[in-house]
């Protein structure tokens, strides 16, 4: 049981799609973004979800500026 909990702590999981990847020396893999969520816990986004979310933010800003 101790080994499995270590393996879970040594992974980062996407808050949007749920995919996970191993950490290297305690750091999320290249392209992943970690942040502190509203509830105070660390969250992360994988590269594809990060691109999708940034695209949605950019589209919303373009829409709002056109009003």
pLDDT score at 61: 79
How high is the pLDDT of residue 67?
59
Residues 13 and 44 sit within 8 Å (Cβ to Cβ): yes
How many whole angstroms separate alpha carbon 56 and alpha carbon 53? Answer: 5
Q: Does pTM surpass 0.75?
A: no
Angle at 32 between CA 64 and CA 30, to 5 degrees: 130
Q: What whole-number distance in Å separates Cα of residue 50 and Cα of residue 14? A: 10
Tens-level pLDDT at each residue, the chain (67 residues): 455 555 667 899 999 999 999 999 989 999 999 999 888 888 999 999 999 988 888 888 777 776 5
pLDDT recorded at residue 37: 83
DSSP state of 41: S
């Amino acid at each position: 049981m101790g080994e499995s909990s270590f393996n879970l702590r040594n992974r980062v999981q996407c808050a949007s799609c749920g995919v996970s990847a191993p950490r290297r020396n305690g750091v999320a893999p290249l392209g992943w973004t970690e942040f502190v969520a509203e509830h105070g816990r660390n969250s992360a986004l994988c590269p594809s979800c990060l691109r999708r979310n940034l695209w949605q933010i950019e589209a919303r800003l373009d829409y709002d500026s056109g009003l």
